Amino acid sequence: MPDLQTIIAVTLAGFALSLTPGPSMLYVLSRSVGQSRAAGLASALGLGVGGVLLAVASALGLAALFERADWLVTVLRYAGSVYLVWLGFGIIQQARSDAQQTLEATTVTTASFLGIFWQGVVVELLNPKTVLFFALFLPPFVNAGIDQGVGMDMQVQLLILGALVPLTALPSDLFVAFSGGTLAKLVNQQQIIRRYMAAACGFTMIAISVSLHL
């Protein structure tokens, strides 16, 4: 089982990523504004379920690889740490330009809530960037079980930590779905807040990466 410090670090990282506007947030916003609040909620739940399924698949795949090649644990641990730093600096670098962009919902075709839910699941499962994120994000946080022996403990750690990432993003997606146009208007009016929030999220990712090796 992951220790409490690791769970907190992964939760913070996932929450920090969910606070920065991205494709998932715009997808939920478009459904909420373009169709209805219920449609936005359905899309948010679909993305969450898709993220959990992808996290579980990634975790099982990584566990199988680690059992066959122990050296991959160390390689991916450091590669993942570098990835977190790169991700953090990228968020900070883009904070200024992102803050100046207008957050707008795109036009959507009306669909059933079940159809919207499954569309969200498929969108998340077929996102190659999300697959890469899990492959490089999870290994740095798996350490206690690896040092004591590769096996079921590592698999459990990967499953728990992998599922934590989409679950921490779900509250922000649900909030976007519920608030809809009100949130978009507020965010567009308070661009300085978006800039500082993105910078804070970037520094959080860098700090977490550094703390993994202390």
Mean pLDDT by 10 residues, the chain (214 residues): 81 79 73 79 89 85 77 80 86 65 60 86 78 80 54 75 85 78 60 72 84 74
Residue 3: CB atoms within 10 A of its CB come to 12
**Any idea which residue has 């809530």 for tokens?**
113
**Any idea which residue has 């730093």 for tokens?**
85
State the pLDDT at residue 171.
85
Q: Which two tokens mark 30?
A: 């478009």
State the pLDDT at residue 187.
59
Radius of gyration of the chain (CA): 18
State the pLDDT at residue 33.
75
State the pLDDT at residue 150.
46
State the pLDDT at residue 35.
75
Contact status, residue 103 vs residue 184, Cβ threshold 8 Å: yes
**DSSP secondary structure code for residue 20 in this structure:** S
Q: Which two tokens mark 26?
A: 């715009």
User: Measured between alpha carbons, how far is residue 204 from residues 13, 59, 81, 89, 165 in Å?
Assistant: 7, 23, 13, 10, 15
Enter the pTM of the model.
Answer: 0.75
